[in-house]
Amino acid sequence: MNSREMKVELGALGALVESRLATIFSDGLTPERLAASMDYSLMAGGKRLRPVLCLAWAELVGGRADKVLDFACAIECIHTYSLIHDDLPAMDDDDLRRGKPSNHKQFDEATAILAGDGLLTEAFTLASSLELQPDRILKAIFHLSTAAGPRGMVGGQVLDMGLTGKSASLPQLREMHAKKTGALIETSCVTGCILGGGGDSDQALASEYGRAIGLAFQVTDDILDVIGDEAALGKPVGSDEAQGKSTYPALLGIDQSRVLARQSVDQALAALSGFSHPRADFLRAVGLYILDRTH
Amino acid sequence: MNSREMKVELGALGALVESRLATIFSDGLTPERLAASMDYSLMAGGKRLRPVLCLAWAELVGGRADKVLDFACAIECIHTYSLIHDDLPAMDDDDLRRGKPSNHKQFDEATAILAGDGLLTEAFTLASSLELQPDRILKAIFHLSTAAGPRGMVGGQVLDMGLTGKSASLPQLREMHAKKTGALIETSCVTGCILGGGGDSDQALASEYGRAIGLAFQVTDDILDVIGDEAALGKPVGSDEAQGKSTYPALLGIDQSRVLARQSVDQALAALSGFSHPRADFLRAVGLYILDRTH
């Protein structure tokens, strides 16, 4: 599958997610200002990479995307809440997100805190309302909440705060990113696999693919920050270093960072080698696309 | 059951909850500062009313408290997160909680936001790891997340912000409290009933009991604020009115507020009339205890 074909599939799966996301808070049971604030961030665009990975892994092992869609949307709700809280004045204090005012700038700080809380909680309402085998849903909820919680994403955010202004070691940087951004990408793949009907060995491969893709994504993000693809990042070149954050290029140099990204994508592709479903091609192309961002 | 006997049972069930809460973040997988911040608020005392209601309702319909304990603790995690976020400078800006520095005062604002996020997420890890019938667990998770989320507690918080400084009508006040504080108390009873094995009619009674107790709790809180039981409330007399918040005594007068509290407790007691399990006595005594606080 070439890059153009991959983007068409990514767009189609993303559009499926998008259309469901748009309806979540339109039932009239959520106070208007809160619904507006959650929708503002939820519908602010993005490639919907995480929910698309969830859907693709579900299909890869024989499941149906429509049966897993609400879980994929739950993952996007969690991703969105994390961006809203990250932007708060007490955290990264960002006024802009994807070129638009961040949630607390568009609304106010209290509303932004509550919009994040609401999106995070709603994720589990969506997840628990699937119509699939209850034991598989429970296993997926356990995996998702562990990945997003104190042992995963929230923990990674705290580790990141602890590293700011210090020079981190490579193992520290990897642990921080594995939790802060990697865990949610990994769980997107693993929960899709669980809900699609995958067995233990499939789930192990989904985990391997997800972890490798997550690392490649972070490393290429850091590289892009250095080589200056402002448009792709939506932030000033070198801003991470200016904020005293450690990056892969800073620790490894650009060339070794490229090697690490390449190795990670190779590992992701290896995890897919046993699958013959057409979605395997798509998932391979996603990996290569992540790598191509830095060229 | 007299008040002393009720307090002994409340203490025993509360101690069961307390001992489990103390172990949640001690597995070494949560970054130290985050675990310390979550434990600081989680272990700051309180009567553990919500988890105890969950356990008591589970037993009332024939379930086992030890099988439901992690779900009860999940409810307490959600209650605790809501207190941490409520106290933030952008929200109520409270420096003290139960006589101790609030979480963001003891740690810092970013850590407090993340501690709240972590506790909320962890609730669903706890809930999804129960060893009971998967379909019952899923139903309970759906009920809990709906009660705690945008259509429940988080929504009620936004409604409360919208009413501050205005004179609310009685229906507005009731809707706000039903969501902000009532929904979590109600879901404590209903989810306990679901997980304990209760049928649809039991669940309807648990809902009725929970809603009535929740209203009685709020009305007596407002009355206590006026008649000045500072010790019971831990806040200055009349502080709600000083902050421009509407209260039941302000809208109904003290006498009619007492009538409303009495009627609510009567309704809660009526919901228990068909149960012969010893825990029914306990749940009746809890209702009467809430009422007695204002005498």
Residue B231: the pLDDT is 46
CB contacts, 8 Å: B113 with chain A: 85, 88, 90-91, 113
Residue B125: the pLDDT is 98
Euclidean distance between the first and the last CA atom of chain B, given in angstroms as a whole number: 19
Residue A26: the pLDDT is 92
**Domain coverage including residue A263:** 3-292
B293 phi/psi in degrees, rounded to 5: -60, -25
For residue B183, count other CB atoms closer than 10 A to its CB.
26
Query: How many domains are there within chain A?
Result: 1
CB contacts, 8 Å: A121 with chain B: 120, 145, 148-150, 154
Q: Which of A160, A136, A164 has its CA nearest to residue B128?
A: A136
Across the A/B interface, how many CB contacts are shorter than 8 Å?
A: 155
A77 pLDDT above the threshold of 80: yes
Residue A132: the pLDDT is 98
Considering only CB atoms, A121 lies closest to which of B31, B125, B145, namely B145
Residue carrying structure tokens 């086992």: B64
And the tokens for A106?
A: 């568009």
CB contacts, 8 Å: A83 with chain B: none
Helices A153-163 & A183-196 angle (0-180, nearest 10): 170
Give A106-131 pLDDT, tens digit per residue: 999 999 999 999 999 999 999 999 99
Give B54-70 pLDDT, tens digit per residue: 999 999 999 999 999 99
A228 pLDDT above the threshold of 90: no
> How sure is the predictor about B240, in pLDDT bands with cuts at 50, 70 and 90?
low
Give B276-285 pLDDT, tens digit per residue: 999 999 999 9
B233 pLDDT above the threshold of 50: no
Task: Read off the pLDDT of each residue in A201-212 and give the average, rounded to a whole number.
Answer: 98
Contact A35 B150 (CB under 8 A): yes
CB contacts, 8 Å: B162 with chain A: 31, 33
CB contacts, 8 Å: B114 with chain A: 85, 154, 157-158
Element (H, E) at A97: strand A96-97
For residue A67, count other CB atoms closer than 10 A to its CB.
16
Residue B227: the pLDDT is 86
Residue A230: the pLDDT is 44
Q: How far is A140 from chain B (nearest CA, A)?
A: 9
Q: Which of B247, B116, B237 has its CA nearest to residue B170?
A: B247
Residue B293: the pLDDT is 81
* Secondary structure class of A101 (helix, strand, coil): strand
Task: Read off the pLDDT of each residue in A289-295 and give the average, rounded to a whole number.
Answer: 83
Task: Read off the pLDDT of each residue in A183-191 and give the average, rounded to a whole number.
Answer: 98
What span, in angstroms and rounded, lies between the C-alpha atoms of B289 and B286? 5
CB contacts, 8 Å: B151 with chain A: 27, 29-30
Confirm or reject contact between A157 and chain B (CB < 8 A): yes
Q: How far is A113 from chain B (nearest CA, A)?
A: 8
Give A243-281 pLDDT, tens digit per residue: 567 899 999 999 999 999 999 999 999 999 999 999 999
Considering only CB atoms, A137 lies closest to which of B111, B138, B161, namely B138
Give B131-145 pLDDT, tens digit per residue: 999 999 999 999 999
Question: Up-side HSE of residue B4: CA atoms within 13 Å toward CB?
Answer: 0
Task: Read off the pLDDT of each residue in A10-21 and give the average, rounded to a whole number.
Answer: 96
The answer to whether B75 and B187 are in contact (CB under 8 A) is yes
Element (H, E) at A137: helix A134-148
A38 pLDDT above the threshold of 90: yes
Confirm or reject contact between B38 and chain A (CB < 8 A): yes
CB contacts, 8 Å: A110 with chain B: 90-91, 161
> How sure is the predictor about A231, in pLDDT bands with cuts at 50, 70 and 90?
very low
For residue B89, count other CB atoms closer than 10 A to its CB.
17
Helices B49-60 & B183-196 angle (0-180, nearest 10): 30
What span, in angstroms and rounded, lies between the C-alpha atoms of B279 and B216? 20
And the tokens for A159?
A: 């580790």
Task: Read off the pLDDT of each residue in A2-6 and give the average, rounded to a whole number.
Answer: 90
Closest residue in chain A to residue B132, using alpha carbons only: A135
For residue A276, count other CB atoms closer than 10 A to its CB.
7
Question: CA angle at residue A156 from B23 to A158, to 5 degrees?
Answer: 75
Contact A150 B33 (CB under 8 A): no
Confirm or reject contact between A125 and chain B (CB < 8 A): yes
Considering only CB atoms, B150 lies closest to which of A91, A122, A128, namely A122
> How sure is the predictor about A239, in pLDDT bands with cuts at 50, 70 and 90?
low
A13 pLDDT above the threshold of 90: yes
* Secondary structure class of A56 (helix, strand, coil): helix
Task: Read off the pLDDT of each residue in A220-226 and give the average, rounded to a whole number.
Answer: 91
Predicted-complex ipTM score:
0.95
What span, in angstroms and rounded, lies between the C-alpha atoms of A195 and A130? 10
**Percentage of residues of chain B with pLDDT beyond 70:** 94
And the tokens for A6?
A: 């991959």
A178 pLDDT above the threshold of 50: yes
> How sure is the predictor about A21, in pLDDT bands with cuts at 50, 70 and 90?
very high
Considering only CB atoms, A150 lies closest to which of B38, B88, B141, namely B38
B219 pLDDT above the threshold of 70: yes
Residue A1: the pLDDT is 86
Q: Which of B96, B106, B125, B114 has its CA nearest to residue B40?
A: B106
CB contacts, 8 Å: A138 with chain B: 128, 134, 137-138
Q: How far is A88 from chain B (nearest CA, A)?
A: 9
Contact B113 A85 (CB under 8 A): yes
* Secondary structure class of A100 (helix, strand, coil): strand
Question: Up-side HSE of residue A217: CA atoms within 13 Å toward CB?
Answer: 20
**Percentage of residues of chain A with pLDDT beyond 90:** 86
Of residues A167 and A43, more confidently modeled: A43
Element (H, E) at A96: strand A96-97
Considering only CB atoms, B118 lies closest to which of A110, A118, A154, namely A154
CB contacts, 8 Å: A120 with chain B: 117, 120-121
The answer to whether A65 and A58 are in contact (CB under 8 A) is yes
Q: How far is B210 from chain A (nearest CA, A)?
A: 20
The answer to whether B60 and B279 are in contact (CB under 8 A) is yes
Residue partners of A238: CB distance under 8 A and separation at least 6: A225, A226, A228
The answer to whether A106 and A43 are in contact (CB under 8 A) is no
CATH number of the domain encompassing residue A249? 1.10.600.10
What span, in angstroms and rounded, lies between the C-alpha atoms of B99 and B54? 27
What span, in angstroms and rounded, lies between the C-alpha atoms of B108 and B105? 6
To probe the interface with A, which of B75, B125, B176, B194 has the most A CB atoms within 10 Å?
A: B125
Contact B121 A148 (CB under 8 A): yes
The mean of the pLDDT values for chain A is: 93
SS (H, E, C) chain B: CCHHHHHHHHHHHHHHHHHHHCCCCCCCCCCHHHHHHHHHHHCCCCCCHHHHHHHHHHHHCCCCHHHHHHHHHHHHHHHHHHHHHHHCCCCCCCCEECCEECHHHHCCHHHHHHHHHHHHHHHHHHHCCCCCCHHHHHHHHHHHHHHHCCCCHHHHHHHHHHHCCCCCCHHHHHHHHHHHHHHHHHHHHHHHHHHHCCCHHHHHHHHHHHHHHHHHHHHHHHHHHHHCCHHHHCCCCCHHHHCCCCCHHHHHHHHHHHHHHHHHHHHHHHHCCCCCCHHHHHHHHHHHHHHHCCC
Task: Read off the pLDDT of each residue in B143-159 and give the average, rounded to a whole number.
Answer: 98
B236 pLDDT above the threshold of 70: no
Q: How far is A284 from chain B (nearest CA, A)?
A: 31
Closest residue in chain A to residue B153, using alpha carbons only: A118
